[in-house]
Every structure is written in C-alpha cells, then in structure tokens.
Structure 1
Amino acid sequence: MAPLRIRNTHRPSCRFLPLLNAVIYNVNAIFHSISLVGRLMDDSDDDYDGFLDAADKLAETVFWTIVEWRVTSPRQKICWSYPGRSPWFLETVLQYWDDLEWIKNFRMTRQTLFEISETLRPFLMRKDTVMRLAVPVEERVAIGVYFLASRSCYHTIALVFQKGTSTVASIVVEVCLAIEHTMLRKEVRISDFSKMTATTSKLGFPHCLEAIDGTHIANTAPKLQGQAYYNRKSFHSVLLQAACDGDSVFFSMLAGHSRVNHDAHVFRSSKLFHRMEDGTLIPGNPIFTYAGVSIPPLILGDGAYPLCKWLMKPYPVPRNDTEKHNNKVFNRTRNIVERAFCRLKARFRRLSVRMEARIENVNSIIASAVVMHNICERKKHAIPEDDSTISINDEQQLREKNDDYNVRAHSERMEAEEVRTAVAEYLFTHVK
C-alpha cells in the first residue's frame, strides 16, 4: 500500500484550525439542534413538522460552519508560472562568447550592445517583484537585436533565451519602440557633408549626398485594408523609402506606406523633401557652380521620382553621348543605395522574410533595424559571409516599376533641367 501523502507537511494541523474554531463558535447551536431532534424523535406525539424544522436548522448550521471554514482556511498555493530557467544569456553568452560569436548572432560586438543598453536603460528598466526577478536591460536589448538579426519566430527565440513566448514578444516590441523614440534622430541624420560627398566624388558625381530608393518589407496582411498592402509582386508588404551616403549609412528614412502610394507621393510627404526644398538639410546649403549654373547638394533617384534642382534622375531616352555618359555615371553612383539595402537585409535578416507583426508595430521594427544598421556600419562591424546572400539583382526584383514622374511646375522643371544639363556636361568633360 502506498504511503499517505500529507499536504502542507510543514504545518499539518493549520488547515483544520479554522474548522475547529468554527465548530467551537457554533457548538451551542449545533448541540441545541441535535437535542431538539432527539426530543422530537422520542415524543410520543411524533410532531413530524417540528422534526423537519429542527432538521433544517441543523443542516443550515452545519452548512454555514463548513462555508466559514472554507473561506478562512489557508489554501495550498497553485503554481501559476513555470519555475526559473537556466540563465543562458547571463551564464553562457556574456562569459564565454568572443566578438566573432557576438557578430554572428547579434550583428554587433558585446561592447556595442552594452552601449545601446545604457542608452535605453531609462526606458527598459523593470523592477523585481516578490514572484520573480526582472529581465536585465542587457538581456532585453539582446532579445530585441536577436529578433532583428534572425529569421526565427517568437517561440524559437523564447527557447533560445529560455523565456516565455509572450514575454519575448512583448520585449521585442518594447525594445523596438525604445530604439525608435530615443535613437532614430541621433543615428539617422546628416553627419559631415564633406565626408559624405567624398565617396560620390570618387565615383565621379560632384556635390552629391548619394541616392534615395525604396524597398518592400514583407508582412502579414493587416485585418483592415489588407488589399492596400498587396503589391504587384503578389505579397503583402510595406514600403521602406530611405536615402543613404556613400558608406551605406542611411541619413533619412520613411516606412509604413502601402503600395497604393506612388514613390513620388511618399517622397513628397517626407521631411527630407521639405528640408531639401527649403535648403535647410545641409548647414549653409553649399553651392557648386559650373558653367554659370548654381548646383545645390544633390540626391540621385530613379525615374519614379520628380526631377528637381536638387534631385537628379537619369535621362529616360538619352539623345547624345553627353546624356549617355551621364546615365552611365549616374547608375554607377546610384547603385550604392541598392547595395545599402542589401547590406541592411543581410545584416538584419528579419527584413528579408515575411514578418508576423501588427501593422502599427512594423514601422518601429523597420526603424530600429535601420538604426542598428547605421551603428554597425559606423563601427565597421562585418556581416558574416554566410549571411551575405542578398544581391542587388534580388533587391531590384523587389522594387516595383513606377511610371516616370514629372509633375512639376514649368518654371521648376526648367530650372531642374538646367542643373541636370550642367551636371551632364561636367561629367562628360571631367569624368571617364
């Protein structure tokens, strides 16, 4: 016979103390009811109605005694959460991994991740409770960065970090929101104009910040207006429009628009467009003069963008050698932005697969990936060779072909044509 298992072995009698107190408190009522029943049963008249009343009173007294015991008695605690798991990140990653392992899994070194953690600490710090210890800020940032760097789902990441799936999902959103709100303006910005134009000058294009383009980030269909996010490549996505310098560092980005918006309309709604129109993006708005034409800082775009005095696009049908040479140098320089998108998606692979995120969180996820990419590029963190599989051809296949956009006022278009002609003549004369 199996031995009897006693619950709450540390205090076996404490469970029955409230019952004993309740019985003592109601003992007079119980004994009175029992004696009354006994007298009625011995009564020769056999008062049946009185017997029923006494029995009801006895049953009611016993019932409320038991209820009082159940309410006041200490109950055995039920385990509502899993017991603590092995702190893999704290015991293995922090103690034994070198920089190569960190870059392979987190796309950055340990020092870089800790610097980011210090920046985000005021927004991600949580207090310990009596039930459990809070997840450290460094581990929370590591979970968010690992989510961006991998193609794994929340459940897999939860197994890797040995956390609950819902915990990982909430941490990812919190980290991405914190990165967007605290680091986006600091990391995605114009740095040094002369340094930015150095790379493009080597490629031959003068006075050029670099290029702007758009790419599609796949995501699950939103519950509302899902058709608006269904692109011509037959999958649901949001548009990421960004401009980068010659070092593949993005200095402007705008994410979240659906495919129903033309690239030019998205561009016109961006801060980059308005600041370039006002001449306030570059301090002092330096001017380069050639053949009597004032050339402002330039950005390169494809045929989907409007031709402006500061936004150059290739000739749709080159008519002479000057225009052909202009298009050749133009495409060679503008390819940098396509390579930047390739590096972004190769480094943070979450952007290269379909995300399963709410549409209101997609912008924060994309923005945080761009911020982390800029930090890694500035710190010269390499991309693991096994993950450098996204080519420019793959990126070009994700782009939708928009019609040539030239809706500008006549005077603005004439001024833009004058600048493009001067640039084409400069390239034909000075650049091979």
Structure 2
Amino acid sequence: MSGMDFKAHMRLKRETVVHLTTRYSTSSFVADQSGVGRSRITPKKSIYMHIWYISNRVTFRQLGNLFGVATSSAWSVIQRVSRYLVSIGDEYIKWPEGIELQKTTEKFYQKQRIPGVIGAIDCTHIGIKGPKDQKEIYFNHKKTYSIVLQAVVDADKKFIDVTCGEPGSLHDYRVLRRSKLFNDADRLHEQMFAGSYFIIGDSAYPTTNWLVCPYKDYGNLTQSQRKFNEIHSSTRMVVENMFGLFKGRFRRLMKFTEQTDLQTITNIVVSACVLHNISITHDDLCDAEENEIEESNSNSNLDRRENLFNYLRQHNLI
C-alpha cells in the first residue's frame, strides 16, 4: 500500500505502526514462539489486529477471518496487546512538568489569552452491552448502557490524565470525585498546580482552587461574565474536539457489541488513549472527518475564577 492507503485503512501512519511493532516484539507480552505445532501469531500481526479492531466495528469472527486466525485467538490477541499498551501508558499519558508545562500553558494562552491553563477536562460515554451484574448503574441518561471515560487534554489534544470504567449513570462531577485525579489534586496540589496553574471544565463541574468553570447562566449574568463564558468555552473546546477525532479514528469506541467483561473493555479503551498519544508524539494526527450536582460553597474555591475574570477584564479581553 501507499502511505496514504495504509493510513486510510489502519488510521495510523506506517511509521507509527512500525515503531509500535518494534517495541511490542521485545516485550514480555508476546506469546512464546517456541514449541511445535501450529505457528504462533507474530508480534506484527498482533499489532495489526489490535489496530484494525479498535479502528473498525468488526466482530471477532470477522477479525479472525480477515487475519487468518481462530476467533478465540483474535480475542486473546486483543486482550494481550491492550494489556501491553496499558502497561506503557505512564510513558505517554502524564501530567506536564517543567518545559512541557510551560509549552502547554503558552499554547492555551495563544488561543484566548487565558494564562495558567494546563488542560481541559470532560467526560464521554463508551457504549457497551448491558453487563450481568449491577446492570442498572450502567444505564445512562440517553437510555443506553455505557462506561465513562474522563479525560484531561492539553492544547495539542493529547491526554495528560485519564480515568475509565465508571458506570454510565454517574454524573461527570461524581466521576471526578471518585477519580485518582481528584485525590491527587488535593494531596499533591503544590506539585500539580504550583503558582496559578489550573484546568478548565464545563458547567457540570464546580469551581475549585484548581478547576475553573464558567458562570452558571440563570439570566442574570453581566455582559463581562457572558464574555468570560465565551472565552472559557472557546478554550475548553479542545477536549470536545479531541473526543470527536478520537472516536472518529478508533470507531470501536462508539460501542462494544460483544464483550461483557468490563475490565477488558476498560483496558481496550485506555489502550486506545495510549495509542492516540503515541500517534501525536510521531506527528500522526487525526483527520477531521474522522443525579444532582454537588456544589462547593467555599469562597476560596471561587477566588480562582474571580481572579481570572478580573485579569481578563483588566486586559480588556471581556
């Protein structure tokens, strides 16, 4: 195939896939190639199968037929490669520090002149079959079954934090409260949000000393507050755009139609997140085609938003 045809089919550039195959082939996740009998599935074929599976909505039977392996073998390969990608996730999905932190805040600043933004947070639903256990808690507001993927992304649409696997019935803020990110933001605040750094989120979240959200509009906002919300929304759009591109590239994430094991589904989703970041690292970008809310009453939590609001007004941005 030409490079263009390869990416059209695999959704990744050949160079990205070659890099991934080389790394995987030396890992402990590769099936033992020794012994007699039927030859083992090679690392290259394993990587191609995994990418094809998450990039399309084929069944395991169709995947096995396409690559000339048994349905059970196709299932084993997807599990194995997913676990491998999750195991190297910390190399590619990580909170920015040092020069990387400065770069991402500068890129966010260039969008709408908001200083100190590290990333934007949001959630998206991953469709699943209704699980056997506790089926009702995975039934979401759209009347389908799902798990939630919570993500914080930087200005380049790269994941810097992910939480996956919470039931689809949970509100975005409850997912955040139950996540490692929420605990780390409190426990490691000076390390993660030193100085005036913060992340931004939509109105589903409360404003805290590290998460700035828009003003809730009950019809009484001032012109400056409405302008603040517009600038905030324009900056936050990076995470919504990322989800669209992410699911456009890895179409399996629209819905899992066969699996019922939630841990395996979660691993596959997180493996796609890792693959997304690997692709950005290799300049392999996506094509454009492709409950009540708990409120914080602490005034100190609102100071972060008020300080930002005053800064934007003083600089005639709102």
TM-score in same-fold range (> 0.5): yes
Residue of structure 2 equivalent to 1:136:
42
Matched, 1:107 2:11: yes
Determine helix, strand or coil for the equivalent of 1:201.
helix
Matched, 1:198 2:111: no
| 1:144-189 residue CA offsets vs partner (Å, 9 max, x unmatched) | 11111111111111121121111111111111111112x2111111
Determine helix, strand or coil for the equivalent of 1:124.
coil
Query: Comparing 343-352 with 298-307, which one deviates more in the overlay?
Result: 298-307
CA contact (8 A) 1:147 1:157 kept: yes
Residue of structure 1 equivalent to 2:240:
338
CA distance in 2, matches of 1:281, 1:166: 48
Identity %: 25
Indicate the RMSD between aligned Cα atoms, in angstroms: 1.9
Residue of structure 2 equivalent to 1:405:
294
| Matched letter for residue 329 of structure 1 | I
Counterparts of 1:24-43 in structure 2 under 5 Å? none
> Relative contact order (alpha carbons < 8 A, sep ≥ 6): 1 or 2 greater?
2
Matched, 1:118 2:14: no
Task: Report the Cα offset of residue 260 of structure 1.
Answer: 3.5
Task: Report the Cα offset of residue 280 of structure 1.
Answer: 4.9
Residue of structure 1 equivalent to 2:90:
185
Matched, 1:308 2:216: no
Determine helix, strand or coil for the equivalent of 1:222.
coil
Query: Comparing 165-174 with 123-132, which one deviates more in the overlay?
Result: 123-132
Task: Report the Cα offset of residue 270 of structure 1.
Answer: 1.9
Task: Report the Cα offset of residue 422 of structure 1.
Answer: 1.3
1:151 to 46, 57, 62: 57
CA distance in 1, matches of 2:77, 2:155: 34
TM-score (norm 2): 0.90
Residue of structure 1 equivalent to 2:131:
222
CA distance in 2, matches of 1:166, 1:297: 48
Gaps of at least 5 residues in structure 2 are: none
Task: Report the Cα offset of residue 109 of structure 1.
Answer: 2.3
CA contact (8 A) 2:246 2:286 kept: no
Judged with a 3 Å threshold, the aligned counterparts in structure 2 of structure 1 residues 126 and 384 are, in CA distance, closer, same or farther, namely farther
Judged with a 3 Å threshold, the aligned counterparts in structure 2 of structure 1 residues 418 and 365 are, in CA distance, closer, same or farther, namely same
Residue of structure 2 equivalent to 1:328:
230
CA distance in 1, matches of 2:293, 2:263: 31
Matched, 1:371 2:274: yes
Matched, 1:98 2:2: yes
CA distance in 1, matches of 2:264, 2:190: 28
Task: Report the Cα offset of residue 282 of structure 1.
Answer: 4.8
Alignment: residue pair count:
308
| 1:267-294 residue CA offsets vs partner (Å, 9 max, x unmatched) | 12222222222345856x442xxxxxxx
CA distance in 1, matches of 2:149, 2:266: 9
Residue of structure 1 equivalent to 2:262:
359
CA distance in 2, matches of 1:359, 1:110: 31
2:307 to 422, 425, 429: 422
Task: Report the Cα offset of residue 378 of structure 1.
Answer: 2.5
1:380 to 271, 283, 307: 283
Determine helix, strand or coil for the equivalent of 2:121.
strand
CA distance in 2, matches of 1:425, 1:319: 15
CA distance in 2, matches of 1:108, 1:351: 16
CA contact (8 A) 1:154 1:169 kept: yes
> Runs in 1 of length 4+ with deviation above 6 angstroms?
none
CA distance in 2, matches of 1:421, 1:404: 21
TM-score (norm 1): 0.67
Judged with a 3 Å threshold, the aligned counterparts in structure 2 of structure 1 residues 240 and 215 are, in CA distance, closer, same or farther, namely same
Counterparts of 1:79-90 in structure 2 under 5 Å? none
CA distance in 1, matches of 2:191, 2:148: 26
Judged with a 3 Å threshold, the aligned counterparts in structure 2 of structure 1 residues 242 and 325 are, in CA distance, closer, same or farther, namely same
Gaps of at least 5 residues in structure 1 are: 1-96, 288-295, 390-401
CA distance in 1, matches of 2:191, 2:49: 36
| 1:214-239 residue CA offsets vs partner (Å, 9 max, x unmatched) | 01000111111112111111111101
CA distance in 1, matches of 2:210, 2:169: 26
CA distance in 2, matches of 1:236, 1:269: 20
| 1:94-114 residue CA offsets vs partner (Å, 9 max, x unmatched) | xxx232222122222233222
